[in-house]
Chain A
Amino acid sequence: MAPETADIDLGEYQWGFHDEENPVIKIERGLNEDVIRQISAHKGEPKWMLDFRLDAYEIFLSKPMPNWGADLSGIDFDNIFYYLKPAESNARSWDDVPDTIKNTFERLGIPEAERKFLAGVGAQYESEVIYHSLKKELEDQGILFLDTGQALLEHEDLFREHFASIIPSADNKFAALNSAVWSGGSFIYVPPGVRIEQPLQAYFRINAENMGQFERTLIIVDEGAYVHYVEGCTAPTYSSDSLHSAVVEILVKKGGRCRYTTIQNWSNNVYNLVTKRAVAEEDATMEWVDGNLGSKVTMKYPAVVLKGERAHGEILSIAFAGEGQSLDAGGKVTHAAPNTTSVITSKSISKDGGRSSYRGLLRVNKGAEGSKSKVVCDALIIDPESRTDTYPYINIMADQVDVGHEATVSRLGEEQIYYLMSRGLSEGEASGMIVAGFVEPITKELPLEYAVEMNRLIQLQMEGSVG
């Protein structure tokens, strides 16, 4: 059968198309114990995982919806598909990926990026990773990069030692939901002293309407090792909502470093509710670079627990909220050991009635003397209809700490635009340039290819908003 790709009116959003569905398995809508048992059975999981899922489901049911942050009242848990397997197997070659799906990833530029500058790629479509690769020389160094479900089956001991150790099911309602129905995601292990110079990338694509995607990522960076992991995501535009609720756990051991970059560009009908937390041991560094451009609602606060002495945490986040979007983003850092350091830099942009919030928690535990932290959050408001809020929570229980917090709110100035236009730039180019400059402290941290992509996405958003 010829693959069919239905194009719909994309508006400004480029990736709103969807493919014809041709699932291997699609479990009926809604969530109950039986759905969870089906998921676990299809995956051929050990019993302890089924028990873990069922236990998490109980926790999910018992926890109320969050009564803070963005409005989640539109989520209808009964209307979501919790598991859809799109292809028979997780291919190691794009040639073995079904044509429809392969074409979509080609449109998204994934195989091309893989050839050009990536050390490995995972591509998830609906509930399962349908393609996975890792350069041979990296495999030979003992690096593991595979889909999380496969890791459970093939490396059960390592998996079980760390799984849910950083984010337990009871952490919050959506972590519990993910724990109950998780499928896909990346599992990475970098052995001691191994540095992966090129990024590993995972791409998450939702295709079906009312889909729920619940990937689970677990990254272990062993002593003195380094990895940069990049994730991107898009979805079709539908009139009804989808749900993306991931859990990402990272352990960076002594002297190791992990950078985790996200370019989130979901369509404007996706609820994006993600729990991300890393633990950094002695002299380790954890960096979250978090770009949020899409989704209907995002609630996401990447966290670092600085557990070992002199550990360093860094959170750089961009949120761009356009029409009908509510992006509640920020970061959390816990200084749990002496002489630890952290920097949180947040930049938010609101336009066309969009709402962005910075929500951050900085905590210095008793005993974490000599810790230093700096929080900078800047908001840019494009037009009077839009809104920004800042909720910086700071909780210090140790003496001799150095904590700084700065926040600014600015409006895109008519005169600033006029100045740039007087040099020949169109209104869209001018405002896009101002916004790109505003987020430059963060985009400059991205690998060139992603910085270009981020600036292009921002330019697209800005051009759609004027003239």
Chain B
Amino acid sequence: MPDLVIRNLHANITGTDTEILKGIDLQMSKGEIHAIMGPNGSGKSTLSHVLMGHPGYEVTEGEVLFEGQNLLDLAADERSRAGLFLSFQYPFAVPGVTVANFIRMAVNAHRKGGPDGVDNPVRIPEFRKQILEAMELLHIDKSMASRSLNDGFSGGEKKRFEILQMAMLQPKIAVLDETDSGLDIDALRIVSDGINRLVGPNMGTLIITHYQRILDYVKPDQIHVLMDGRIVRSGGAELAHELETSGYADIAKEVVN
């Protein structure tokens, strides 16, 4: 069975009848790169947050299996410790909490979540080495380690910080929600390089994007087009270029017909 299996997933905004996801089916495994493309308001970000366990959405139908385990039974922190990661489109600021302390706490939470379930905190020198390496990979200035989480970060710094966390937590499946938005071309190249270095036999990624731009750097195995809460088409990398030239409107017509 694939590592991530999404079957007929329906989700509402919590406490309302507003259905955003209207039956999503998708399967992927570690080592694979999938992209979800779609116009604004199609449900792309909602899908990423429903997978991560955002309290603002409730699943009304369907299931999500992560390595065979029912993901929807888990709280967001348990999903993270199980190996799911979400790079936020709009990360939150937490003043007074430094990047280094936060990532160390997160790393330790993951280590604690291991099979033996006991505290096994990372040793500081080892942690320091790891984070410095990851920061170098992403061309992040060392001074970020002592800044407050996303507090006063530029758009580009926020995105790099998200990928830094991904590098440190080493998820099995990483969902990247509009990681390319707000990045200039140089930053996009650096972040993409970082993603390419991290994707491999132990990690798969689901790239959610509005534009095919990032897909020039991170080559997807499969592309899915999301419209009005459903995946309306899936295909290989060539689908991105088709979309780029003809736009979503043509597909919309196609789907209606």
Q: How far is the CB of B77 from chain A (nearest CB, A)?
A: 4
Contact A416 B95 (CB under 8 A): no
Interface digits, B40-56 against A, CB 8 Å rule (1 contact, 0 not)?
Answer: 00000000000011111
Say whether chain A's binding surface is mostly helix, strand, loop, or mixed. Answer: helix
The residue that B94 contacts in the complex, of A414, A420, A421, A424, with Cβ under 8 A, is A420
**Cβ of B36 < 8 Å from any Cβ of A?**
no
7 closest Cβ contacts across the A-B interface?
A437-B96, A440-B96, A437-B97, A424-B109, A421-B76, A424-B80, A423-B106
- The answer to whether A423 and B55 have CB atoms under 8 Å apart is no
Instruction: Give me the interface of B with A, judged by CB distance under 8 Å.
Output: 52-56, 75-77, 79-81, 85-86, 88, 91-92, 94-97, 102, 105-106, 109-110, 113, 148-149, 165, 169
A439 vs B96: C-alpha distance when bound (angstroms): 7
CB contacts between A and B, total, < 8 Å = 81
Chain A residue with Cβ nearest B166? A423
Contact A434 B97 (CB under 8 A): yes
A397-456 interface (Cβ within 8 A of B): 413-416, 418-427, 429-430, 433-434, 436-441
Complex: chain A residue closest to B79, CB-CB: A422
B96 touches A423 (CB 8 A): no
Q: Which residue of A lies closest to B81 (CB)?
A: A424
User: Could you list 29 A-B pairs, sorted by A, with CB under 8 Å?
Assistant: A415-B54, A415-B55, A415-B56, A416-B94, A419-B94, A421-B77, A422-B53, A422-B76, A422-B77, A422-B80, A423-B102, A423-B109, A423-B165, A423-B169, A424-B81, A425-B106, A425-B109, A426-B109, A427-B75, A430-B77, A433-B102, A434-B97, A436-B96, A436-B97, A437-B95, A437-B97, A437-B149, A438-B95, A441-B96
A419-B92 in contact (CB<8A): yes
Whether A419 pairs with B91 at a CB distance below 8 angstroms is yes
List the A side residues contacting B88 at CB < 8 Å.
419, 422
List A residues at the B interface (Cβ < 8 Å): 413-416, 418-427, 429-430, 433-434, 436-441
Is B86 within 8 A of A422, CB to CB? yes
| Complex interface: chain A residues within 8 A of B86 (CB) | 422
> If A424-B113, A424-B169 touch, does A415 touch B97 (CB 8 Å cutoff)?
no
Task: With A419-B88, A437-B148 as known contacts, state yes or no: A424 contacts B106, CB within 8 Å.
Answer: yes
B81 with A413: CB separation less than 8 A: no
Q: How far is the CB of B16 from chain A (nearest CB, A)?
A: 16
A324 to B209 alpha-carbon distance, docked (Å): 49
**In the complex, A438→B94 CA distance in Å?**
8
Asked if A437 meets B77 with Cβ closer than 8 Å, knowing A423-B165, A429-B109, the reply is: no
Q: Which residues of B contact A425 (CB under 8 A)?
A: 77, 105-106, 109
User: In the complex, which residues of chain A have a beta carbon less than 8 angstroms from the beta carbon of B92?
Assistant: 413, 415-416, 419
Most chain A C-beta atoms within 10 Å of own C-beta, residue among B52, B102, B109, B165:
B109
Complex-state Cα separation, A438 to B151, whole angstroms: 12
Contacts of B148 in A (CB 8 A): 437
- Chain B residues, Cβ within 8 Å of A434: 94, 97
Instruction: Indicate if the CB atoms of B77 and A426 lie closer than 8 Å.
Output: yes
CB distance from B90 to the nearest CB of A (A): 9
B102 CB contacts on chain A under 8 angstroms: 420, 423, 433
What would 13 more interface pairs be, CB under 8 Å, given A416-B92, A438-B95?
A416-B94, A418-B55, A419-B91, A422-B76, A424-B106, A424-B113, A425-B109, A427-B77, A433-B97, A433-B105, A434-B94, A436-B96, A437-B149
- A132 vs B256: C-alpha distance in the bound complex, in angstroms? 85
Closest to A416 in B: B92
Closest-by-CB residue of A relative to B107 is A424
Q: In the bound complex, what is the Cα–Cα distance between A438 and B54 (angstroms)? A: 23
Considering the complex, give the chain B residue whose CB is closest to the CB of A347. B96
**Minimum distance in angstroms from A194 CB to a CB of chain B:** 35
How long is the Cα–Cα vector from A420 to B54 in the complex, in angstroms?
Answer: 11
Chain B residue at smallest Cβ distance from A433: B97
Q: From residue B79, how far is it (CB to closest CB) to chain A in Å?
A: 8
| Residues on A with beta carbons closer than 8 Å to the beta carbon of B169 | 423-424
Q: CB distance A424 to B77 under 8 Å? A: yes
Chain B residues with CB below 8 A from A438, complex form = 95-96
Q: Which A residues lie within 8 Å of B79 (CB)?
A: 422
CA distance A418 to B105 in the complex (A): 15
Given contacts A424-B106, A426-B77, contact A418 B97 (CB under 8 A): no
Whether A418 contacts B94 by the Cβ 8 Å rule is no
Complex CA–CA separation, A440 to B95 (angstroms): 8
> Once bound together, how far apart are the Cα atoms of A420 and B101, in whole Å?
12
> B95 — which chain A residues lie within 8 A by C-beta?
437-438, 440
Which of B85, B94, B110 has its CB near the most chain A CB atoms (within 10 A)? B94
Instruction: Report B-chain residues with C-beta under 8 Å of the C-beta of A420.
Output: 94, 102
CA of A424 to CA of B92, assembled, Å: 15
Q: Verify B75–A421 contact, CB threshold 8 A.
A: yes
Given contacts A433-B102, A437-B148, contact A422 B96 (CB under 8 A): no
Q: How far is the CA of A429 from the CA of B53 in the complex (A)?
A: 17
Residues of B within 8 A of A426 (CB): 77, 109
Closest to A426 in B: B77
- Name the residue of chain A whose CB is nearest to the CB of B88: A419
Q: Is A422 in contact with B94, judged by CB distance below 8 angstroms?
A: no
Q: How far is the CA of A443 from the CA of B79 in the complex (A)?
A: 32
Q: How far is the CB of A188 from chain B (nearest CB, A)?
A: 32
State the Cβ distance, B244 to closest chain A Cβ, in Å. 31
Residue of B nearest to A438 (CB): B96
